[in-house]
Structure 1
Amino acid sequence: MKTVAMVLFPDFLLLDMAGPMEVFSIANRYLEPKDHYRLVMVGTEPGMLRASNGVSVQTDLHLDQARDAYDLLLVPGGPGAYDVKLPALQRWLRDAVPRAGCYGSICTGAFILGHAGLLDGYRVTTHWHYTERLIRAFPNATVETDRIYLEDRNLITSGGITAGIDLALAVVARDHGKKLAQDVAKVLLVVMKRQGGQAQFSPLTAAVAPQETPVTRVQNHVLEHLDEAFSIERMAGLANMSTRHFARVFAREVKMTPMEFLQSARIDRARNLLETSDLPLKTVAYKSGFGSVRHMRFLFGEKLGLTPTQYREQFS
């Protein structure tokens, strides 16, 4: 029997906890009793802990009582994971993780592991909305921004919220085989392996900065005329800069090259049209500046891991 411990704290995200634990609970229906997962809730405070949505959960043990060597130790995310310092939990994790077979986080629970020094030297992921923040906070970790979940040695981390279900299914598949994980996924009405990564949910271009600069003027002009042809020379001309100087200034301010910005903006425009209209793919490609459906399909596959048709079916 393997023990899965989930560590709860005030303002945790309920689905980060419930999704993975439901996977292990349903897996138990198919397993012999000797192979069951034993599920344990460890709390930073004794008794009930309130989730960010107001629901309270009864924990099994307080940190001071949780001294077992757990097979899998998980930390959920939520506002309490990234808005509040939890020094007692960090100390407990630093002591508990070396005794655990595997440890990990769901969504923004990665911030708690990071503050405990448990992400350094590992490849990790988190919710797409928080990846830049995680990169800045923990430079000794390698943050991969487009993964649904990610295993690196004895650490397993997942993207946002429902990605905790993907993480748990991967653990079940590792422990008991793919067939059992598929059976659990069918009960939950989810797929074992999603098409694409987190990029399909997040905008590829950040909002243009509100202050007016030569670069933001170019960005806004490009966004207003995406159906036109653009080269770096044309964009540099709009900024009244040399091509080399413009490319350098643009990359510094926007954190991507001018052509990467153009490509990402076109993909975002196409995504919006696919989500909100029934326009033919040829029209979507033209309005987004791709020139052809073939080129749009190639870039969607490269950036999102989906074809435009798959994207429309999934999000419209």
Structure 2
Amino acid sequence: MKTVAMVLFPDFLLLDMAGPMEVFSVANRYLKPDDHYQLITVGTEHGPLLASNGVRVLPDRHIDESSPDYDLLLVPGGPGAYNEKHPPLLTWLQDAVRRAERYGSICTGAFVLGHAGLLDGYRVTTHWNYLERLIRAFPLAQVESDRIYTEDRNLITSGGVTAGIDLALAVVAQDHGKKVAQDVAKVLLVVMKRQGGQAQFSPLMAAVAPHETPITRVQNFVLEHLDQAFTVQDMAALANMSARHFARVFLREVNMTPMEFLQRARVDQARNLLETTELPLKTVAYKSGFGSVRHMRILFAQKLGLTPAQYREQFS
């Protein structure tokens, strides 16, 4: 029997807890009793804890009363994960993960692990909307932006919210085989492997900084004229810089190359048109500056793991 412990704290996201725990619970229907998952909730406070949606949950144990010898130790996300540090929990986690077979986080629970010093040197992910914040907060972690979940040695982290279900299904598949995980996925009406990564659900391009600089002026001009062709030299001329100097400054200020920015902007423009209009793919490609449906399809496959037609079918 494997023990799965979910650590709870004030203002946690209830779905981050309930989704993965339901996966393990349903898996027990298909497993022999000796192979069952034992599910435990561990709280940072005595008594019920208030989730971010207002629901109160009474943990099975308090961290001071809990033996940390768990097979899998998970931390959910929520406002309490990225806005608070919970010092007693951080100290407890530092000891608990050394004694656990595996540990991980759901969504923004990665911030709790980060504050405990447990992400340094690992490949990790979190909700797409908090990726930049995670990168800034924990520069020694290798943050992957387009993953539903990421495994690195005994650490497993997931993207936003429902990606915790994907994480739990992956654990079940590793523990008991793909057939059991598929049976659980069917009961929960989810797919075992989603097309594309979590970037398909998120804007790919970071917002242009509000203060005006030569670089932000170029960004805004490009965004307003995406149907036009641009080279690095074209963009550098708009900033009155040499191409080499412009590329260096752009990378430093935007954390991506000029051409990466242009590609992401074109993909975002196309996504918006696919979601909100019924324009033919050829027109979408033209308005987004791809030049051809083929080029748009190639970029969509690289960035989203989907074709434009598949994206429209899923999100329009």
TM bucket (normalised to shorter chain) is: over 0.9
Task: Please list, as runs of the form range in 1=range in 2, the aligned pairs for 1:47-62 lying within 5 A after superposition.
Answer: 47-62=47-62
Question: What does residue 303 of structure 1 align with?
Answer: 303
- Displacement after TM superposition at 1:60 (Å): 0.5
SS at match of 1:45: coil
Whole-angstrom distance in 2 between the partners of 1:264 and 1:5? 39
SS at match of 2:42: strand
Question: What does residue 141 of structure 2 align with?
Answer: 141
- Displacement after TM superposition at 1:68 (Å): 4.5
Whole-angstrom distance in 2 between the partners of 1:240 and 1:102? 53
Structure 2 unaligned segments of length 5 or more: list them.
none
Determine whether 1:153 maps to 2:159.
no
Whole-angstrom distance in 1 between the partners of 2:35 and 2:255? 49
- Displacement after TM superposition at 1:172 (Å): 0.5
Question: What does residue 104 of structure 2 align with?
Answer: 104
Determine whether 1:286 maps to 2:286.
yes
SS at match of 1:108: helix
Whole-angstrom distance in 1 between the partners of 2:3 and 2:60? 13
Question: What does residue 196 of structure 1 align with?
Answer: 196
Q: Provide, for residues 193-232 of structure 1, a one-character-per-residue CA deviation record: whole Å limited to 9, x for no partner.
A: 0111111122121122222222222211111111111122
Query: Quick one: structure 1 residues 212 and 141, their matched pair in 2 at CA, closer, same or farther if it must change by over 3 Å?
Result: closer
Whole-angstrom distance in 2 between the partners of 1:90 and 1:183? 36
Whole-angstrom distance in 2 between the partners of 1:217 and 1:140? 32
| 35-44 vs 216-225, greater mean Cα deviation | 216-225
Whole-angstrom distance in 1 between the partners of 2:249 and 2:95? 46
| 29-38 vs 285-294, greater mean Cα deviation | 29-38
Whole-angstrom distance in 2 between the partners of 1:30 and 1:70? 22
Question: What does residue 73 of structure 1 align with?
Answer: 73
Question: What does residue 272 of structure 1 align with?
Answer: 272
- Displacement after TM superposition at 1:158 (Å): 0.5
Determine whether 1:25 maps to 2:15.
no
State the superposition RMSD in angstroms.
Answer: 1.1
Question: What does residue 221 of structure 1 align with?
Answer: 221
Determine whether 1:117 maps to 2:117.
yes
Question: What does residue 40 of structure 1 align with?
Answer: 40
Whole-angstrom distance in 1 between the partners of 2:199 and 2:211? 27
Whole-angstrom distance in 2 between the partners of 1:151 and 1:194? 16
Specify the code of the residue in structure 2 equivalent to 1:105: S
Q: Provide, for residues 30-82 of structure 1, a one-character-per-residue CA deviation record: whole Å limited to 9, x for no partner.
A: 11222111100100011211100100111100011111511111000111111
Give identity over the alignment, percent: 81
Whole-angstrom distance in 2 between the partners of 1:291 and 1:68? 57
Whole-angstrom distance in 1 between the partners of 2:213 and 2:125? 33
Question: What does residue 132 of structure 1 align with?
Answer: 132
| 229-238 vs 99-108, greater mean Cα deviation | 229-238
Specify the code of the residue in structure 2 equivalent to 1:235: M
Question: What does residue 87 of structure 2 align with?
Answer: 87
- Displacement after TM superposition at 1:303 (Å): 1.1
Structure 1 unaligned segments of length 5 or more: list them.
none
- Displacement after TM superposition at 1:298 (Å): 0.4
- Displacement after TM superposition at 1:307 (Å): 0.8
Determine whether 1:233 maps to 2:246.
no
Query: Quick one: structure 1 residues 191 and 262, their matched pair in 2 at CA, closer, same or farther if it must change by over 3 Å?
Result: same
- Displacement after TM superposition at 1:147 (Å): 0.9
- Displacement after TM superposition at 1:83 (Å): 0.7
Structure 2-normalised TM-score? Answer: 0.97
Determine whether 1:255 maps to 2:255.
yes
| 288-297 vs 121-130, greater mean Cα deviation | 121-130
Specify the code of the residue in structure 1 equivalent to 2:160: G
Specify the code of the residue in structure 1 equivalent to 2:157: T
SS at match of 1:4: strand
Q: Provide, for residues 91-128 of structure 1, a one-character-per-residue CA deviation record: whole Å limited to 9, x for no partner.
A: 11111111111111001111111111111221111111
Specify the code of the residue in structure 1 equivalent to 2:13: L
Question: What does residue 7 of structure 1 align with?
Answer: 7
- Aligned residue-pair number: 316
Specify the code of the residue in structure 2 equivalent to 1:90: L
Specify the code of the residue in structure 2 equivalent to 1:314: Q
Structure 1-normalised TM-score? Answer: 0.97
- Displacement after TM superposition at 1:249 (Å): 2.1
Whole-angstrom distance in 2 between the partners of 1:281 and 1:57? 48
Whole-angstrom distance in 1 between the partners of 2:107 and 2:66? 23
Specify the code of the residue in structure 2 equivalent to 1:52: S
